Amino acid sequence: MISPQLPETDLLLPLPEPGERWDPHTVHTHYLGFSVPEAELGAVIYFRFQPAFPLVGGGVGIYQGSDNVRPLDVEHLNWWMTAPYPEVRDGRLSVDNGLSLTIVTPGEELAVTYESRDGRTTLDLRFRAVSPLVARGSLMPALESAADPSQAPGGSEQFMRVTGEAVVNGERHAVDCVNVRDRSWRQLRPEGQGFVVGMPPLGWTPIHFGADLALNAFSIEPPATDPAWKGIYELDPAGPFHQGVPYVVRDGEISPAARVERNVLEYHPATFQAVRQELLVVDADGREIRVEGRAVASASLPMWHNIAFVDSIFRWEDERGRVTHGSYQECWFDTYQREIRKRQAQPARA
């Protein structure tokens, strides 16, 4: 079921009441990003609130090109594990790492500013909605069964027009792009090793071609596509191959997608993420949307504990020849990382 989300949820950062105990893995989050495709530049902006303690983590990761195998390969990284829980005043919150978020108009407009310690990297960005604020559950439905329904956990996603300026190590970049944002509140994000079992790499494909067409899906490569995970996991060949509820936005109207199939054509030799892939989305009316994409920039970055995470900027093209750029994210767990490295180390057969 797809439904609009209430705009005021943008301001939700609740803390336990006195004497109340929350699961320590309870989180609230804000994710935002931007890109400058002509400069092969991408970025992740992330706030991860842990109200049970209370503390906040996250930060800024800005990368250029596709040779960012380790987090410190990127152009700028300022990622904190722990900082004091911020107060929200007039819709604005600030973290001790120099990052600030302002909810200018809930559900419609946000602003981000940032300044590094040396002053050579700064952000001054506005995020304005170009699609409805959509309600969503957990990014990984396997985690929802452990959530306390009395906490009313929730989440949202929305495509945003991002404008402003990014100065990266003294180099100025004008920003004018469309990127998705998402957030969660009162959701559980366990930190234990292997906390999700039997799940191949999961890819997030939020794609916005314009007011007439956008789509959003979390998906796994089907077994029939001969994925890199073949022989590591066992999946039902009949599917489904998406997580949660994928959806299509046409002229502001949201509808669930009936089927999602993602076929990776090429993997990065060092980070193992998809760098070229095809995507098929079939909407509720049976209409097919086919797009093909390739990464113009990518980087391994911090995100959740005990998980591999890669962010990238993809150039997407549909069957009509329309082109757009946007964030593509992929994650996987330790079993896949170990096995894929073993395979890579094996000599090729003659």
Phi and psi at residue 225, in whole multiples of 5°? -90, 5
**Per the domain annotation, does 184 fall within a domain?**
yes
Q: Print the domain residue range for 305.
A: 27-345
To which residue do tokens 């983590």 refer?
Answer: 57
Locate all alpha helices (DSSP H) within the chain, ordered by sequence.
Answer: 334-345
| pLDDT attached to residue 342 | 93
**Per the domain annotation, does 50 fall within a domain?**
yes
| pLDDT attached to residue 266 | 98
**DSSP 8-state assignment for residue 321:** -
Query: In the structure encoding, which two tokens stand for residue 116, read together?
Result: 């590094």
To which residue do tokens 């911020």 refer?
Answer: 86
Quickly list DSSP for 208-263.
EEETTEEEEEEE---GGG--TTBTTB---TT---EEEEEEEEETTEEEEEEEEEEE
- Say yes or no to pLDDT of 267 above 70: yes
- Say yes or no to pLDDT of 348 above 60: no
| pTM score, whole prediction | 0.95
C-alpha atoms less than 13 angstroms from C-alpha of 304 in its C-beta half-sphere: 26
| pLDDT attached to residue 345 | 80
Question: Residue 43: which region, alpha, beta or left (left: phi > 0; alpha: psi -120 to 50)?
Answer: beta
**Per the domain annotation, does 10 fall within a domain?**
no
Average pLDDT across the chain, whole number: 94
* Three-class DSSP category at 202: strand
| pLDDT attached to residue 130 | 97
**Per the domain annotation, does 117 fall within a domain?**
yes
Burial track 213-231 (b if 16+ CB lie within 10 A, e otherwise)? bbbbbbbbbbbebebbbee
**Per the domain annotation, does 80 fall within a domain?**
yes
CA–CA dist 241, 262 (Å, integer) = 8
- Say yes or no to pLDDT of 1 above 70: no
350 pLDDT tier (thresholds 50, 70, 90): very low
Burial group, residue 27, by CB count within 10 angstroms (0-12, 13-18, 19+): buried
**Per the domain annotation, does 311 fall within a domain?**
yes
CA–CA dist 297, 36 (Å, integer) = 10
**Per the domain annotation, does 173 fall within a domain?**
yes
| pLDDT attached to residue 61 | 98
**Range ranked top by mean pLDDT from 106-110, 196-200, 235-239, 342-346:** 106-110
Helix (H) or strand (E) holding 44: strand 41-50
- Taking residues 80-109, report their average pLDDT: 96
Residues facing residue 101 across a β-bridge: 93, 112
- Taking residues 228-250, report their average pLDDT: 94
The structural domain count of the chain equals 1
**Per the domain annotation, does 8 fall within a domain?**
no
Report yes or no: 285 and 273 within 8 Å, Cβ to Cβ.
Answer: no
